[in-house]
Chains A and B, each alone.
Chain A
Amino acid sequence: MNPILRATGITRRYGERIGCADIGFDLYPGEVMGIVGESGSGKSTLLNCLAGQLTPDAGSILFDSAQQGVCDLLTLSEMQRRTLARTELAFVHQNPRDGLRMSVSAGGNVGERLMGVGARHYANIREQALSWLERVEIPADRIDDRPSQFSGGMQQRLQIARNLVTGPRLVFMDEPTGGLDVSVQARLLDLLRGLVRQMGLSAIVVTHDLAVVRLLADRILVMKDGQVIEAGLTDQVLDDPHHAYTQLLVASVLQA
């Protein structure tokens, strides 16, 4: 099996400071990879470079596209990149406001992604939007409400529906459960796990929450000062950490 994403030598500097340095990994279809580290460790810089929100200074990101074959996301034309971003890639932001259109109805938010890939039949679009709202547990009678009238947890679920409706193959997630109540977090995690398995998604999840990464990710990268200092199977890295910083991270988690 070929990797769906192969990153090599990803480097991004902010002036003199290092955002992330010389990072490489392979991600295989159906795999969920977590990136952990404290704020400032470079995990969001890396995610944004991978997802095309930030241009790295060096490196290559080979994506095995279903439509275009293996292509380097960093050298694609703007149009090809946008097509991929609408179809095969998706990005779930920490703050749902960054991933939703707040002045458009919930149904419209989901429908817009579908129209972006060429859907035109109104009844079909509405039907698919409804079925996705149901999958993410948003009541059907809220379809015409705007996300601004939703709770934080509902907004996050709507953002997930909007991203997954077009059946992407690789999803980037930045702290998908950050800022939510624990009770809402648990439900969202279960939803994400189910969707990843049903749709055979590959995903890269950035989080500082080790409990989230343990439940969601198959393997993890631990970052500090822009470098990957430890990597491996999630439970192995968390239960038998070798690097001093990873040991500190794991030992610092409060027991509920």
Chain B
Amino acid sequence: MTAMLKISGVSKSFTLHNQAGVKIPVMSEAHLSVSAGECIALVGPSGAGKSTLMRMAYGNYLVDAGEIWVGDVCLSSASPRDILMLRRQTLGYVSQFLRVVPRVPTTEVVAEPLLALGVEREVAHERAITLLKALNIPQRLWSLSPMTFSGGEQQRVNIARGFIHTYPVLLLDEPTASLDAENRAVVLSLIEQARARGAAILGIFHDEAAREQVCTGEIDVSQFL
């Protein structure tokens, strides 16, 4: 099986120039690989560097050393332009927090990744509505901006946005954190469907039962410190 996401020899530290130049090492020599159809969970105590590793895998944090490959692109040395293209086509990310332009309707927020790929407006919106329905976002909220939604609703909007395109590689940061049992089940089934179609998934799940249900393996990040 070919690895869709490959992290090798990755080290990361933060230097805080405005706080006496303190240097905080976060990880060294991290390595892992995720193949199509796999879902790997990052585990370890909080502060072990799970989120940092996810952010590096998305190109949001730079690496100090080592390489990160997504498909046949070396993300850790790619130009901003290539990273953006990778994010549009190949690499999806569901973060814990929703960040959107104020006053943009929910359907538009969810449809945006497809619109950016040049999918027709109607098709993109139809797909957005299907996902919003599946995730139990009431219809009366669709035309409103998600900025005023509850935490759980915002998270589901984020998930809809992350699952609207069939990304070959998906990064999930606590996708079930603030969801009730019913919506948690919906999200887990979305993850299982993505795996079944061949997505390579790397995730952080504090919810142990969820991890048991959808993950094919786990990696303890604290070994990389």
Interface residues of A (CB under 8 A from B): 28, 31, 186-187, 189-190, 193, 197, 215, 218-219, 232-236, 239-240, 242-244, 247-248, 251
Given A233-B83, A236-B60, A247-B18, A190 and B116 touching (CB < 8 A)? Answer: no
Within 8 A of A (CB), among B48-62: 55, 59-62
Chain B, interface residues (CB within 8 Å), range: 20 to 34
Given contacts A234-B80, A243-B17, A247-B17, 4 further A-B contacts (CB under 8 A): A186-B101, A186-B103, A218-B84, A236-B62
Asked whether B18 lies within 8 Å of A189 as measured between CB atoms, the reply is: no
Q: Mark B103-117, 1 if CB is under 8 A from A, else 0.
A: 110000000000110
Within 8 A of A (CB), among B90-108: 101-104
Residues of chain A with a CB closer than 8 A to B101's CB: 186, 189-190, 193, 215
Asked whether A247 lies within 8 Å of B16 as measured between CB atoms, the reply is: yes
Residues of chain A with a CB closer than 8 A to B80's CB: 218-219, 232-234, 236
Residues of chain A with a CB closer than 8 A to B83's CB: 233
CA distance A248 to B21 in the complex (A): 12
Within 8 A of A (CB), among B1-56: 14-18, 55
Asked whether A239 lies within 8 Å of B61 as measured between CB atoms, the reply is: yes
30 A-B pairs with CB atoms under 8 Å apart are: A28-B81, A186-B101, A190-B101, A190-B102, A190-B103, A190-B104, A193-B101, A215-B101, A218-B84, A232-B80, A233-B59, A233-B80, A235-B60, A236-B60, A236-B61, A236-B62, A239-B55, A239-B60, A239-B61, A240-B14, A240-B55, A240-B60, A240-B61, A242-B62, A243-B17, A244-B18, A247-B16, A247-B17, A247-B18, A248-B17
Interface residues of B (CB under 8 A from A): 14-18, 55, 59-62, 80-81, 83-84, 101-104, 115-116
CA distance A233 to B59 in the complex (A): 9
Residues of chain A with a CB closer than 8 A to B61's CB: 236, 239-240
Closest to A246 in B: B17
CB distance from A54 to the nearest CB of B (A): 27
Residues of chain B with a CB closer than 8 A to A240's CB: 14, 55, 60-62
